[in-house]
Amino acid sequence: MAIVVQKFGGTSVADAEKIRRAAKRVMDAVDKGFSVVVIASARGKQTDQLIADALELNPDPSAREMDQLMSTGEIQTVSLFAMALEAAGYPAISFTGTQIKMVTDNVHTKARIKSIGTDEIHNELNKGKVVLIAGFQGTDSNGNVTTLGRGGSDTTAVAIAAVLGAHECEIYTDVDGIYTTDPRIFEQAAKIEKISYDEMLEMASLGAGVMHSRAIEFGKKYDVNIHVRSSSEQTEGTLITKEVPQMEDVVVSGATIQKDMAEIGLIGVDNKPGNAAKTFAHLAKAKVVINDIVQTEISNEKANLLFTIGTSDLKDAKKAVEEIKDELNCEKIFVRDDIAQISVVGVGMRAHYGVAEKMFSALAQAEVNIDSITTSEIRISCIVSEKDAKKALKTVCLAFDLDKPIEKRAKK
């Protein structure tokens, strides 16, 4: 029997009524003859609440205990969800990440999946049960509970869809699809019907919180079609899928804003081979995830090394650069955490010119100063002051017609 994976985010299972509504989606799929595997997140804002509870008792809790605690949110959801299904006459069984052998590395609070057991899932599906799996969590090889990073249930869902060979993974959420930008910030954002893995991967990594970026990596690698749709409305959502040539006709598919960011600058480090390697090896040892790096030579002897990171890594990153400062002969370290990054993304950039100019002109007209610029083949990102960030996003969206459906956008 064909398997479908359905993932329900926190808002979609926030209370009993919403769990019943989500259960109805599952029952519809069962009635259509599918074997259904459900991944669920913690209810409502429960993960935030668990973090607040922890901080009330310890301002600097260990990452291991945080994972142990945070993983409980999704465990509650899946057992409640199973009860709702059973009450409606649909046999169901819930599992924690550990129970289905979701093995991860040992990087607490941002672990990566290494392998997933499928025996338990298949056994239960074969008995005609709906299988519910707690999202966002796994276990390292020593049996410690780990979590995959905020928003990580998406990754659990797509990874499970991949190992089960499910042809589609449905992501049920509080928006009815992927929009050109976060509709909470730019209300006129247009809905996207289809988006390529690469574009969505960039958007997710650049702050489009609607999907966890690792989920898209799994989707791309294992060819899982990801369908992002509304848990409350019966509309078609957005399909995240393989790139097709027509996708290049659209210059910019989406724009993002990333706020929880910090910039660290190592000013006047010795300009000699090995210094960048040393710096980033040290940061990697501290498990700091680096977003972008800009190195500029200021003279034969000296260079500046700038990089951006998420604010959650700021404490570790600061400590790491302080430790290595003298070895690099660094004159000064600066840290800014009042910044935000505005990016535009589109596979069409490969085939069109003038995209950067359009973005920078729009920002100039809105009198937004650009702190630094980074690019890839399919994206352009500008660091701006946090206070200008929303204005900058809106300006850029209007410049690229991201308030209009694809057919009505300017071709260049």
Report residue 209 as tokens.
């919180």
**Residues making contact with ligand ADP (CB under 6 A):** 9-12, 41, 151, 173-175, 178-179, 181-184, 208-210, 254
Report if residue 108 touches ligand ASP, rule: CB under 6 A: no
Name which of Mg ion, ligand ADP, ligand ASP, none residue 136 binds, using a CB cut-off of 5 to 8 Å depending on partner kind: ligand ASP
- Structural tokens at position 105: 């590395």
Let me know: does 74 contact 41? Beta carbons within 8 Å.
Answer: yes
Amino acid at 67: D
- Burial label, 39 (beta-carbon count in 10 A; 0-12, 13-18, 19+): buried
Reduce the DSSP state of residue 32 to 3 states and report it. Answer: coil
Which candidate, 203, 255, 246, places its Cα nearest to that of 226? 203
Question: Cβ 9 to Mg ion, closest distance in Å?
Answer: 5
For CA atoms 197, 201, 204, 207, the dihedral sign is negative
Q: C-alpha distances in angstroms, 372 versus 78, 349, 376?
A: 44, 20, 14
- In 298-391 the beta strands, taken as DSSP E runs, fall at 302-310, 332-345, 372-376, 379-385
> In the chain, how many H helices and how many E strands?
11, 18
Please give the residues from 136 up to 175 whose contact with Mg ion meets the rule CB under 5 A.
151
Selection from ligand ASP, ligand ADP, Mg ion, none that 44 binds (CB < 5 to 8 A by kind) is: none
Distance CA 378, CA 173 (A): 27
User: In whole angstroms, how close is the CB of 328 to ligand ADP at the nearest point?
Assistant: 37
Among 41-49, 175-183, 192-200, 298-306, the segment contacting ligand ASP (CB under 6 A): 41-49
Q: Phi, psi at residue 42, to the nearest 5°? A: -65, 150
Residue 11 CA: distances (Å) to CA of 16, 24, 42, 80, 363: 12, 16, 9, 15, 34
State the binding partner of 395 from ligand ADP, ligand ASP, Mg ion, none, CB within 5 to 8 A by kind. Answer: none
Alpha helices, H only, 166-305: 197-205, 213-222, 275-285
Minimum distance of ligand ADP from residue 77's CB (angstroms): 11
> For ligand ADP, which is the closer residue by CB, 12 or 304?
12
Residue 10 touches ligand ASP, criterion: CB under 6 A? yes
Task: Pick out residues in 134-153 that bind ligand ASP (CB under 6 A).
Answer: 135-136, 150-153
Q: Which does 219 bind (CB under 5 to 8 A by kind): ligand ASP, ligand ADP, Mg ion, none?
A: none
Does residue number 81 form part of the binding site for ligand ASP (CB under 6 A)? no
Site string for ligand ASP, 47-66 (x = CB under 6 A): x-------------------
348 binds Mg ion (CB under 5 A): no
Between 254 and 268, whose beta carbon lies closer to ligand ADP?
254
| Least distance from ligand ASP to the Cβ atom of residue 172, Å | 12
Which residue in the set 73, 177, 254, 348 belongs to the binding site for ligand ASP (CB under 6 A)? 73
Binding site for ligand ASP (CB under 6 A): 9-10, 41-42, 47, 73, 135-136, 150-153
